[in-house]
A and B are shown apart, each in its own frame.
Chain A
Amino acid sequence: MMLNGFLVVGALLFALGATGVLIRRNAIVMLMCIELMLQGANVTLAAFSRYLDDQAGFVLVVFSLTVAAAEVAIGLAILVALSRVNPVVNVDQLDSLSG
């Protein structure tokens, strides 16, 4: 059955994104991995929407795209503002708050 295949793809993309957030040091690549997790969620939403004969999942994918765009704009703006004070993108070195 096709639904299970789409769900597996969504789960694998989400797991890959989560692993990337855990193991990568570059803040920009971590943001990209968050996008990968959103892609996995989008595949799952669209698959359920299609196989449940409902449009709500597709509508949620539209909102997910909107939120992803807003999140990336704010996240990258924070990184650019941060790079003026402290020109590193390694999250290990962004520890000014740790006292």
Chain B
Amino acid sequence: MADNLETTVAFWYLAIAAVGAGALMLVARNPVHSAISLVIVIFHVAGLFVILGAGFLAVAQIAIYAGAIVVLFLFTLMMLDMRRLPEERVTHRQIWLGIPLGILLAIEGVVVSVGTPEISASIKGAFPPATVSELGGSTQALAVALFNEFTLPFLGASVLLTAATIGAIVLARRVESHEQADFPQAAKASPPDEAPAEPVLEESAR
């Protein structure tokens, strides 16, 4: 893709909006606002994928992230009922250490990124733009790589998704009363654990 004016303007808009929404996510007090900021970041990163000529990834990004992951976050926020939880300081006590370390990491990343040299023709891969358009587009080129070179990892990803689904169901399942004999710790632990939670709350509210 040529570095023409439209691409440059779109890149700057998408870059600034993505980073700005990411910063907004950190400072939002309400977790729902953080989730909305995450959606904004996701849409703008999808735009960056379009500039990079990966339309399929942009659509997959919006479908999987904005359509599934953020909705999962919002459902969990709804289930945990944040409004009933006690008010607390949003940031951690170690903020004085976290922010300088984050700024250091950002400076390091920017220095390395800016210092990345021009890519020489000798290390370029097997999919130049001519080959990609010959294959019929970026989605077809992705499919050629995915289903030839990366078939085994692709199958591994399906196993991972199955395992994650089963694991999530098992973890989030309510322990029924007749099953509590199988989990004596869970049955015993839940009532006493709620009581000592209160003094801890007051202690941290100081």
Contact = CB atoms under 8 A, between A and B. Distances in A.
- A and B: real partners? yes
Interface in B1-30: 1, 3, 7-8, 11, 15, 18-19, 22-23, 25-26
A32 B35 contact: yes
B49 to A, nearest CB: 6
Contacts of A53: 124-129
A5 B14 CA distance: 11
A2 interface: yes
A23 B26 contact: yes
B153 A31 contact: no
A22 B92 contact: yes
Given A15-B109, A28-B73, A46-B48, A23 B80 contact: no
Contacts of B38: 32, 35-36
Nearest to A68: B69
Given A12-B110, A83-B80, A85-B190, A93 B26 contact: no
Contacts of A1: 3, 118
Interface residues of A, number: 78
Contacts of A92: 92-93, 204
Contact of B72 (A36, A67, A73, A84): A73
Contact of A24 (B26, B57, B116, B175): B26
A46 B19 CA distance: 17
Interface in B58-94: 60-61, 64-65, 68-69, 72-73, 76-77, 79-80, 82, 85-86, 88-94
Interface of B: 1, 3, 7-8, 11, 15, 18-19, 22-23, 25-26, 31, 34-35, 38, 41-42, 45, 48-49, 52-54, 57, 60-61, 64-65, 68-69, 72-73, 76-77, 79-80, 82, 85-86, 88-95, 97-99, 101-103, 105-106, 108-110, 112-114, 116, 118-119, 123-129, 138, 141-142, 144-146, 149-150, 153, 157, 160-161, 163-165, 167-169, 171-172, 174-175, 186, 189-190, 193-194, 197, 200-201, 204
12 contacts: A9-B18, A13-B19, A22-B94, A22-B99, A23-B26, A46-B48, A54-B127, A56-B149, A69-B68, A81-B171, A86-B197, A87-B194
